[in-house]
Amino acid sequence: MRKIDLTNFQVATSETARQINRRIALNFIRRNEPMSRADLARCSGLQRSTVSAIIDQLIDEGWVTEGAIGQALRGRRPRFLHLNVERAGILAVDLRPAITTVGLAGVDARFVEQTSWPTPKDPEVFIRQLARTVTLFRDSHPRIVCEGMGVSVPGRADRSGRLVFAPNLGWGPVDLKRLIEAEIGLPVVLENAANACALAELWFGLHPEHVRHLVAVTVSEGIGVGLLLNGQLVHGGDAMAGEFGHVSVDENGPPCPCGNRGCWERYASNSAALEYYRGDGQDASGARPAMSFPDLLQLAETGDARAIEALERMARFLGIGIAGLITGLAPEAIMIIGEVTAAWNRLGPLVEYVVKKRILPHAATRIVPTVPASQPRLRGAVTLVVQQHFGAPHVA
């Protein structure tokens, strides 16, 4: 139960009840389509007349379409309701320090188009390039009405959409949401990439409906952690919750772009594995290495002993951090997102072994690698906009 916040509440009106019922109906259709109005009344417990009023409105607004006529044993044959996934075109951006991917999807998070380009060092150049991509997408799909953009960022953005912490990107504080909105003329939602991935798992993942406690760990240049607890993202007082990647595990360890020393991500990220491979162990200058992490995975695949050793060292440190997350937060699942999951056959058992040695005996958290082909970070960016239409309305 949540305590009522007397500084941020909304008294209930008949409109509140209508909004809640509308979202419930929309979610039932999203999950169970095709379904008839009678099915919807049965699953939701809403009156038939209420269901009809809601559906008429959803059809009017283009969210729901009526399709084929179904079978009935007696009486009028029902018409099936479908979610109109083309109702809204959603632009999704996965901003990473080295590469940016932009996609265009419907509300089902299926991409009709996407492209990638190297992330510019200057945020203003980035915004101009993004605007050009958006124009190209809109020109090639004139029938899709874009209604918003979700951006997953390698750092943290505050409530106003200002990038406040992104050490691996090296941009400093920048009013990213406002600047992009001014350039493309659409509303923009900014969220930490790991948070976006956790949301994507909640809305589009394979988990049963009752999973409410998920932790997403993005392993890339750094490590991001997204906390979805009690079905809600945890942002903390200053939007910085989840920065486990910058929890120092050794005060004498290698320096980190965040200013600290010995942060977890300096031991367990892709950059850490590359440093192990190169053998310097001290390079945290943010310089892009000539060899990429996928190159390292490829080398390990061909049996290169040094590459395998570097990856295994990274996996052991991943396990150490994950064990801390499991013991401290007891989530139902920890999702692992990143190129490293492509080598999970080799590294997964090592991570599990390290975790098992450290957690409490009854811990039951599953560690689940995501399939890179499902593009969790980009799908997360879509989810930022999707949840605005399907999420529970704000009530006291």
What are the residues binding Zn ion (CB under 5 A)? 246, 256, 258, 260, 263
Name the residue among 382, 337, 378, 381 with its Cα closest to residue 108.
Answer: 382
Euclidean distance between CA atoms 116 and 102, whole angstroms: 6
Nearer to Zn ion, 286 or 289 (CB): 286
Euclidean distance between CA atoms 107 and 178, whole angstroms: 24
Name the residue among 166, 131, 376 with its Cα closest to residue 286.
Answer: 166
Question: What is the smallest separation between the CB atom of 297 and Zn ion, expressed in angstroms?
Answer: 24
* Distance separating the N- and C-terminal Cα atoms of the chain: 11
Nearer to Zn ion, 39 or 243 (CB): 243
Question: What is the smallest separation between the CB atom of 340 and Zn ion, expressed in angstroms?
Answer: 19
Nearer to Zn ion, 164 or 395 (CB): 164
Return the residue matching tokens 């095709």: 34
Question: What is the smallest separation between the CB atom of 345 and Zn ion, expressed in angstroms?
Answer: 30
Nearer to Zn ion, 106 or 245 (CB): 245
Question: What is the smallest separation between the CB atom of 246 and Zn ion, expressed in angstroms?
Answer: 4
Question: What is the smallest separation between the CB atom of 263 and Zn ion, expressed in angstroms?
Answer: 3
Question: What is the smallest separation between the CB atom of 96 and Zn ion, expressed in angstroms?
Answer: 17
Q: Sign of the CA dihedral 180, 182, 183, 187?
A: positive
Euclidean distance between CA atoms 66 and 69, whole angstroms: 9
Question: What is the smallest separation between the CB atom of 242 and Zn ion, expressed in angstroms?
Answer: 13
Nearer to Zn ion, 105 or 325 (CB): 325
Number of Cβ within a 10 Å radius of residue 108: 13
Type and span of the H or E element at 48 = helix 48-60
Nearer to Zn ion, 148 or 222 (CB): 222
Name the residue among 109, 52, 103 with its Cα closest to residue 86.
Answer: 109
Euclidean distance between CA atoms 173 and 383, whole angstroms: 25
Question: What is the smallest separation between the CB atom of 324 and Zn ion, expressed in angstroms?
Answer: 16
Residue 95 sits at φ, ψ, to 5 deg, of: -90, 115
Type and span of the H or E element at 32 = helix 14-32
User: Tell me, what DSSP letter sits at residue 81?
Assistant: E
Euclidean distance between CA atoms 153 and 377, whole angstroms: 9
Number of Cβ within a 10 Å radius of residue 115: 12
Nearer to Zn ion, 263 or 340 (CB): 263
Question: What is the smallest separation between the CB atom of 257 and Zn ion, expressed in angstroms?
Answer: 7
29 close to 40: Cβ distance less than 8 angstroms: yes
Question: What is the smallest separation between the CB atom of 157 and Zn ion, expressed in angstroms?
Answer: 18
Nearer to Zn ion, 171 or 344 (CB): 171
Name the residue among 209, 217, 215, 246 with its Cα closest to residue 233.
Answer: 215
State the angle between helix axes of 14-32 and 37-44 in degrees (0 to 180), rounded to the nearest 10. Answer: 110
Nearer to Zn ion, 187 or 254 (CB): 254
Nearer to Zn ion, 39 or 275 (CB): 275
